[in-house]
Amino acid sequence: MFSHTMMELPLTLTTLHRRMGEVLGHVEVVSRRPDKSFHTTTFGAIAARAEKLARGLLAMGIARGDRVATLMWNHAEHLEAYLGIPLAGAVIHTLNLRLHPDDIAYIANDAADRVLIVDAVLLPLYEKFADKVRFERVIVVGRDYEAFLDAAPPLALPALAESDPLGMCYTSGTTGRPKGVVYSHRSTLLHSLVSALPDSLRLSRSDTLFPVVPMFHVNAWGLPYTAALVGARLAFPGPHLDPVSLLEVMESQHVTIAAGVPTLWLGIREALDKEPARWKLHPGLTMIVGGAAAPERLIRDFDRQGLSLLHAWGMTETSPIGLVSRLPPELDDAPEALRYQLRAKQGVPPPLVEIAIRKDGETPPADGRSSGELLVRAPWVAARYSSNNTPDRWSDDGYFRTGDVAHRDAHGFVQLTDRTADLIKSGGEWIASQELENALMGHPAVREAAVIGLAHPKWSERPLAVVVKKPDAEVTEAELRAYLAEKFIKFWLPDVFVFTDTIPRTSTGKFQKTTLRAQFAGYQWPGTTD
């Protein structure tokens, strides 16, 4: 028998943590404070403080699998919690501070969080739901957190198994009630390793990584762990997320790679357009964009400035990396139009991720047109939810059913066309709302556009487009319809275009289509009577 010929060291944060102290001790972590000053510390200091946090938690009786919540911005202390809580054998549960206080309370109770670590500046938010939750202890960063660390007794940290839970996040509930996803030590380590690969997010010791995506949203896409694993220098925005503040960090900290949702980069593009000569960013700065589709125009606009958008797809349930849109070398000489078209797709699965596209149990041809539901499996994809189990989200052959509709082309690039819940059924045929949105956002006068299906007396549903124009830009409904008519068959064209100032968004920056649909409920289509 040849089994067990190699060491079976568990894939846990223990090894990553040790390395941070012993090998990567001087790598810097820079955080923006509420007063906008910059605070610099090192991996070595963070590793030591994370260990104290773990010992403090153990001393107060936190046991294996217990949940410890955080309500924090992105900064060094949050990274300490990312490490220290799991090192104690406990589970870090990152609460989403953009949710309604009642929803935060629901989620904290659902997860049975025992302790809360909260930023002093977020205490007013905590107070809004404090009477609805029962934390045994609330530790405030900026008040008693330092004393808590200093008082930690010299207890030994527990030996961890790689299947032990490490952290949990709730889905943002764009399409249903939030559900808890629990990541393990093993899933987190493997996800970090593959995320860092050159054909994935490409992260190394030479980088300064700027995770703007919140640490309470799918662990900032796992990036703090990836940086800790490879030794990338980290810059954190703290609570300052306006475009100018972000540009200040990118410039002053020589950021080489940043990450956030499309709206964020829309804001950055506008700030750069306004004062093109003001900012000196790292040439070739890469901005990872995910969470919602990256409009092709945005990718083109940034290229012109020497900055590069890297499009990726994922979900809370997938840790999140599932697809990355990096062009392979055989497309080096492909026509520019094709290259942009592919970069605006969600991309190809990185190693260890397997995908399938299925429609009525069949795999549609990879012709870049025929779509079906996207399924995914990987060592970092959830096998179940923490509660409210919904087994129908998993296929019999072990894939997670994403609820996203997608097709694949001859290059293997996957493109999402919609979420199943947002598809519009008109006269018995499906219309993909996201495809229309992506096309509309390619119009030079359009800043943002969302398309929703509304009940229609004759067609069952028809599309309505909600459009935000760029500042100082003008465009008419007829022009937009003619623009879309070049790309789509007639019945796909929205019947009505409504111009507004903003589109409602979820706590993680996606279009809130449920709110939009509610806003337009009972809409009287022109020329119809009910």
Nearest distance, CB of residue 218 and ligand ADP, angstroms? 6
Find the part of the chain contacting ligand ADP (CB under 6 A) among 40-48, 248-256, 286-294, 456-464.
286-294
Is residue 473 within 8 A of residue 445, CB to CB? The reply is yes
Closest CB to ligand ADP among residues 12, 171: 171
d(CA 344, CA 335): 15
| 425 catalytically annotated | yes
Find the part of the chain contacting ligand ADP (CB under 6 A) among 62-70, 80-88, 310-318, 447-455.
310-318
Is residue 223 within 8 A of residue 259, CB to CB? The reply is yes
SS3 177: coil
Closest CB to ligand ADP among residues 313, 385: 313
| 317 catalytically annotated | yes
Is residue 474 within 8 A of residue 445, CB to CB? The reply is yes
Which one of 86, 89, 165, 173 is in contact with ligand ADP (CB under 6 A)?
173
When asked if residue 208 is in the footprint of ligand ADP (CB under 6 A), the reply is no
Residue 448, C-beta contacts closer than 8 angstroms, at least 6 positions apart: 263, 266, 441, 467, 468, 503
When asked if residue 72 is in the footprint of ligand ADP (CB under 6 A), the reply is no
d(CA 342, CA 354): 19
Nearest distance, CB of residue 233 and ligand ADP, angstroms? 26
Closest CB to ligand ADP among residues 211, 290: 290
When asked if residue 83 is in the footprint of ligand ADP (CB under 6 A), the reply is no
Nearest distance, CB of residue 285 and ligand ADP, angstroms? 19
Task: Find the catalytic residue in 128, 279, 420, 430.
Answer: 430
For helices 223-230 and 13-22, angle between their N-to-C axes, nearest 10 degrees: 50
| 515 catalytically annotated | no
Nearest distance, CB of residue 508 and ligand ADP, angstroms? 5
d(CA 104, CA 24): 36
When asked if residue 286 is in the footprint of ligand ADP (CB under 6 A), the reply is no
Site for ligand ADP in 385-444 (CB under 6 A): 402, 404, 416, 419
When asked if residue 96 is in the footprint of ligand ADP (CB under 6 A), the reply is no
Task: Find the catalytic residue in 12, 42, 171, 188.
Answer: 171
SS3 214: coil
When asked if residue 200 is in the footprint of ligand ADP (CB under 6 A), the reply is no
Site for ligand ADP in 326-365 (CB under 6 A): 346
When asked if residue 513 is in the footprint of ligand ADP (CB under 6 A), the reply is no
Q: Which 8-state DSSP code applies to residue 348?
A: B
Using CA of residue 118, residue 119, residue 120, residue 126, what is the dihedral sign? negative
Three-state SS string over 419-462 comes to: EHHHCEEECCEEECHHHHHHHHCCCCCEEEEEEEEEEECCCEEE
Is residue 432 within 8 A of residue 420, CB to CB? The reply is no
Q: Which residue is nearest to ligand ADP (CB)?
A: 174
d(CA 422, CA 453): 8
Task: Find the catalytic residue in 132, 280, 359, 425.
Answer: 425
- Residue 49's alpha-carbon distances to 20, 152, 316, in angstroms, are 12, 10, 28
Closest CB to ligand ADP among residues 84, 211: 211
Closest CB to ligand ADP among residues 56, 173: 173
Helix (H) or strand (E) holding 36: none
- Catalytic residue list: 171, 317, 425, 430
List residues near ligand ADP by CB under 6 A.
171-174, 290-293, 311, 313-316, 346, 402, 404, 416, 419, 508, 510
